Amino acid sequence: MIGMPENPPNHLIGETSPYLLQHLFNPVDWHPWNDETLYRARAENKLMVISIGYSACHWCHVMEKESFEDREVASLMNRHYVSIKVDREERPDVDQVYMTAAYIVSGRGGWPLNVIALPDGRPVFAGTYFNRDQWIYLLDFLAKNFQSDPDELVRQADAIHLKMTFPENLRPSGSLTPGNAQLPDNLFLEWQKILDDQDGGTIGAPKFPMPVNFEYLLRYGVISGNRKAIDAVNLTLRKMACGGIYDHIGGGFSRYSVDDRWHIPHFEKMLYDNAQLVNLYAQGFQHSREPLYREVVEDTLRFIERELTSPEGLFYASLDADSAEGEGAYYAWTADELQDMLKEDAQLFMDYFGISENGNWENGKNILFVNRSPDELPVKYSMEKEHIDQKIRKCKEKALEVRGKRAKPGLDNKVITAWNALMISGLVSAYKACDEEMYLRKAEKAARIYAGILEDHQRLFRLFPASGIQSPPAFLDDYAFMIKAFLDLYQATFAPEWLDKAEMMIGHTITHFFDDHTGLFYYTSDTSPALIDRKKEIPDNVTPSSNSQMALNLLVFGHISGKEKWNNLAVAMLQKVYSGIQSEPSFYGNWAIGLLLAIYPPYEVAIVGANCKSILRQFNAGYLPQALFCGSEDGLYPDPVKGRFREGKTLIYVCRERTCSEPLNNAAETIQRILFRE
């Protein structure tokens, strides 16, 4: 949404971020985050406005329209401040530092994130959305204070900065003794307190999917035999797939629901959500063979192919919540629109999706939301369920065609390394669950582009370095998720290149991100430009934290490669955050997956011989969270398969805690041994 094109462009004119370019013609003299801008603030001795958001952020657009397109506001900002616009997806390191300040100042965070900072970058105030009057008051108040009593603002900045840089209280605790099932059982007791046993997810509104938490609960439920955990996952998967958070016409999930029933979405569609949800639903399908889960996987991947795939075969960041017709207008329907479009099938479609004449949302509009039992409509319409499903599919195809003619939500075409890695992992999970070769080909195509970048530059970048794109260096999440993607590809194909590249990236992160003092990883490389603080990402959020993913990577790579030093480092990391996992497991879901691997040591399944890849496909169909796979046609690589090749045979070895079974040649028998821990 580029506003007021009659204004001359500001200092964002050389940028490539869609979010920054949305502000290009604001009367505010926006600058990008760079050394030149930071030097300017110091040279002119001006306070800085650091305003952080992203392209799909609805309230960022609202604040732009109310304040940043307003000439009075712009005049005040241009007179007293050096104003900096930051795309938080492009520069998550900057966002991370100043989001910490927002929590210190106000106890909460979110976007837009608006910070007032001294010329040296230390914040004196930080908050989120402000309406026009609040923003004018804040700007005027702090500008006058800086002129009349700058020492007071310096003291305020000192106090905030001290809290921002206070070292983490991370001390080894807890015993991760193999077989100590009490630890994950106690975690589930904590988790039960917040699980919604009516509508899935967690109790209350808004409802966020939080895929990694439910991946943990599914893993824990299967490994421990806890049926309640498995039921909580299945309830959540069904309710989300039936809710308005899921796009029943075009596939894919919105960011979250504003209510407690998954009904009304916040309409932005993020790659990282959809990548993780493809992974979760694929695992759900592996476990239960529930057809609905496979349908969600396939439709979501069709959405990603149609809307978020670049010409190179990589993946764009997001679709906006807004279009030219307003927030959510692209996805909502009136009853009259549906009746005109679907004719004799309209009433069936409206019954199926809870459509009313008056609307189930706002302004007479409806959000599609499956709120009927599958048995109701066959009785009401005297029709076989299969016939109803067929009619609904045809209606959805027609609706997708009609909807495609509407004004579309804005596309953020950044190609972010970390999120692409999540998508590669999601595609690998979909390939394994659905036995669909096309998904694997897409995952390999994207992964080979990043493998090529590694070969050419010996490092990754935050953004895909296409023509005209100037990318910051990659951050820890870019490496952590790409290591996972390559390990996932290795376990799905036994192609040695993926294991080699994963090891190369692990070495790079140890060299450039690891903190010997805490035994954890910084978010930024030691070669990245310095900020006012160098942070570590520890609790999990809507995506796993980069440290939790590195711990998991080290565990998985250590077991697959036979290099035990990485397992030891990962366990040491888990012990550092053990108290956090115990006290707030829903903020440590990915860490808890690592805890499961430490407490229930995985089965290392080595398949050796000419038919190793075809046998591997037999394992893929099932959900085996306690198994890690390595294999080779010739028994030469990696270490766990060496010396196990037998001419003319393909053999399966199941090892656990350095003890291996006799060789087997039957995948079904091996799966039974793993599932029932024989």
Tens of pLDDT, residue by residue over 439-454, are 999 999 999 999 999 9
- Which amino acid belongs to residue 552? L
Is the pLDDT score of 501 beyond 60?
Answer: yes
Confidence band, pLDDT 50/70/90 cuts, at residue 4: very low
> For position 1, what pLDDT does the model report?
43
Mean pLDDT, rounded, for 101-125 = 95
| Residue among 636, 610, 625, 621 at smallest CA distance from 667 | 621
Task: Using the predicted structure, report yes or no on whether residue 466 has a pLDDT greater than 80.
Answer: no
Percentage of residues in the chain with pLDDT exceeding 70?
97
Write out the CATH class of domain 18-164.
alpha beta
The per-residue pLDDT for 658 is 77
Contact between 348 and 381 (Cβ < 8 Å): yes
- Secondary-structure breakdown of the chain: helix, strand, coil percentages, each rounded to the nearest 5: 50, 10, 35
pLDDT in tens, 147-201: 999 999 999 999 999 999 877 667 666 667 676 778 899 999 999 999 999 999 9
User: Is residue 115 a contact partner of residue 126, using CB atoms and an 8 Å limit?
Assistant: yes
Q: Would you list the domain boundaries of the chain?
A: 18-164, 182-323+412-600, 331-405, 604-675
- Tokens representing residue 535 in the block: 């942070």
The structure tokens listed for 582 are 């115990």
Residues 520 and 497: their CA atoms lie apart, in Å, by 27
Mean pLDDT score, 308-319: 97
Mean pLDDT of 524-530: 93
The average confidence (pLDDT) of the chain is 93
Does CATH number 1.50.10.10 belong to domain 182-323+412-600?
Answer: yes
Instruction: Using the predicted structure, report yes or no on whether residue 2 has a pLDDT greater than 60.
Output: no
Residue 499 has which token pair?
């294991």
Residue 604 pairs with which residues in a beta bridge? 628, 655
By C-alpha distance, which of 256, 250, 298 is closest to 273? 256
pLDDT of residue 472 exceeding 50: yes
Q: What does the pLDDT average to over 509-519?
A: 96
Q: Do domains 18-164 and 182-323+412-600 have the same CATH topology?
A: no
- CA dist list (Å): 576 to 35, 171, 569: 36, 5, 11
Dihedral sign for Cα 455, 457, 461, 463, please.
Answer: negative
Which long-range contacts link 33-40 to residues 24+ away (Cβ below 8 Å)?
A: 33/84, 33/85, 33/86, 33/91, 33/94, 35/529, 37/11, 37/82, 37/84, 38/121, 40/82
Q: How confident is the model at residue 318 (pLDDT cuts 50, 70, 90)?
A: very high
Distances 637 to 331, 493, 576, 607, 657 between C-alpha atoms, Å: 51, 13, 33, 11, 20
Strands 627-632 and 603-608: parallel
State pTM to two decimals: 0.95
pLDDT in the model for residue 641: 81
Mean pLDDT confidence for 375-382: 87
Least confident of 152-156, 170-174, 485-489, 589-593: 170-174
Angle between helices 227-242 and 182-192 (to 10 degrees): 40
Asked whether residue 128 carries a pLDDT value surpassing 90, the answer given is yes
What confidence category does residue 323 fall into, taking pLDDT thresholds of 50, 70 and 90?
Answer: confident
CA distances to 493, 613, 670, 671 from 619, in Å = 12, 10, 9, 7
pLDDT digits 0-9 by tens, 621-651: 899 999 999 999 988 888 888 888 898 899 9
> Looking at residue 660, what is its pLDDT?
84
Amino acid 61: pLDDT: 92
Q: Which residue has the tokens 């966002």?
A: 95
Of 548, 556, 597, 592, nearest in space to 573 by CA: 548
pLDDT of residue 38: 96
Q: Within 10 Å of residue 382's Cβ, how many Cβ atoms?
A: 6
76-112 CB burial, b ≥16 within 10 A, e <16: bbeebbbbbbbbbbbbbbbbbbbbbbbebbeeebebb
Average pLDDT over residues 120-132: 96
For residue 628, the cross-strand partners are 604
pLDDT score of 267 more than 90:
yes
Q: What is the pLDDT of residue 174?
A: 62
Note the pLDDT tens digit of each residue in 390-406: 999 999 999 999 999 99
Torsion sign over Cα 19, 129, 164, 28: positive
pLDDT digits (tens, 9 = 90+) for 270-294: 999 999 999 999 999 999 999 999 9
Mean pLDDT, to the nearest integer, of 79-105?
A: 96
Half-sphere exposure of 68 (CA within 13 A, CB side): 31
Q: What percent of the chain has pLDDT over 90?
A: 83
